[in-house]
Amino acid sequence: MLESLKKMFSGNEGEVPVNTGSKPDISREKSAELYEKAKNYFPGGVNSPVRAFKSVHGTPLFIQKGDGCFVWDADGNQFIDFCGSWGPLILGHNHPKVREKVTEVMQNGMSFGAPTALENELAELIIKNNRFVEKIRFTSSGTEAVMSAIRLARGFTGRDKIIKFDGCYHGHSDSLLVKAGSGLVTFGETSSAGVPKAFAQETIVLPLNDVEALKQAFEQFKDEVAAVIIEGIPANNGLLMQDQAYLEFLQNLCKAHKSLLIFDEVITGFRLGFEGAAAHYGLKPDIVTYGKIIGGGLPVGMYGASAEIMAHISPDGGVYQAGTLSGNPIAMAAGIAQLTELLKSGFYKELNNKATEFAESLQRFATARNYKVKVFHVGSIFWIAFTDKDKIQRADDIEHSSMEKFKMMHRELLNRGIYLGPSGYEVGFVSAAHTKIELEKAKRAIFDSLDVVFRNK
């Protein structure tokens, strides 16, 4: 089968015959029934807004199981999955080493609210292989890790204001759930009901990739900025690759003004490489936050910094942060198993090469067809954007009208057995479980779907 696929995809992808039409919609009968029932229990029928499929066609798919690079929904439809629980399943679904370790540890109990040796084991694994943290604190989510990092920065510096960037998402804590106001340098405006204006006014929102805006912000708020927070590589609103020079300027500006630089690596940490975007750019943030990838998809997060900064966290210092489920033994067990696999020789090289070849093949096809599509990628992360821009580095660079094309492509892909996150602003992830066979099948499905999109433009 592999040889036949090789022949099918040999040569220029642009020579693939144009797809003749849309695929019939898959059955969503059981998912639709479950969704109608869920609306009686949950706001919008979901426990996280993007799951509601508001940006794409049809009702949400209710996933029944996952294995390797596949997921199956309640109607029995099988999909090659490029969402991977929004990134943490870098080994794929239901990895045997992770499953076995979790099953083993579960026999002794699932939660204690007390220290376990597993916390030490996972912490040692991380700190010994990460130059950017000397001490860490486990949390139960990336949002909690970022919220705690902000509090730590304020406690360490004795300052209140935070600078964030339009187009970066850092979880749903009040001080960061803000959007840009008008003007080059502006206080954030609440982007959610229930967030007090006073909270948002402690957050300054700047455009990405704008040196002048950074200069003005630090001039205007000289000794008030506790920290600047930025995604290691912004990947929650497209894939907004930042220039090395810009990030170096940001780091130097923070040092000059005695403000802390926080890298939010909830997506990029342990994904681009074991040390994430910090190593990718060769920069040393003051505080780094990480997310679910630590626990193989189980609820876990982490923040870390130098021993000096972390000494301000309770019980050593005056910055309070706690969590009954922090360091949960099941999550720690999954983390030990997953990160041990990531540390194996050649893991990231093989994964990233595979993802690069996949993304570049998609781009070659789109270019050969003269389709207005760019496939941005870094490491094992990719983003299909309906644009002709060679660079998209800011939120306002994204053509919002292009989301209609994504909506059509998403439907075509589901009908061809490919699962992407249900929003054109979300990135996709290649896992170690994606084999060449599955990636070639996915390419064919994406080629055909793009043909349909642009035939109907």
Q: Is 25 a catalytic residue?
A: no
Active site annotation includes 281: no
DSSP symbol at 21: S
Q: Which of 292, 354, 405, 441 is catalytic?
A: 292
Q: Tell me if residue 35 is catalytic.
A: no
For 150-181, b where at least 16 C-beta lie within 10 A, e where not — what string?
bbbbbbbbebebbbbbbbbbbbbbbbbbbbbe
Catalytic residue among 73, 166, 210, 264: 264
Strand duo 78-81 + 418-419: pairing:
parallel
88 vs 347: CA distance, rounded Å: 15
Q: 35, 101, 169, 281: which is the annotated catalytic residue?
A: 169
Peptide bond into 17 cis (omega under 30): no
Q: C-alpha dihedral over 167, 168, 173, 174, to 10 degrees?
A: -40
Radius of gyration (Cα) for the chain, nearest Å?
22
One-letter amino acid of 226: A
The answer to whether 353 touches 164, Cβ cutoff 8 Å, is no
Asked whether 182 and 207 are in contact (CB, 8 A), the reply is: no
Cβ-contact 418, 79 below 8 angstroms: yes
Catalytic residues: 169, 264, 292
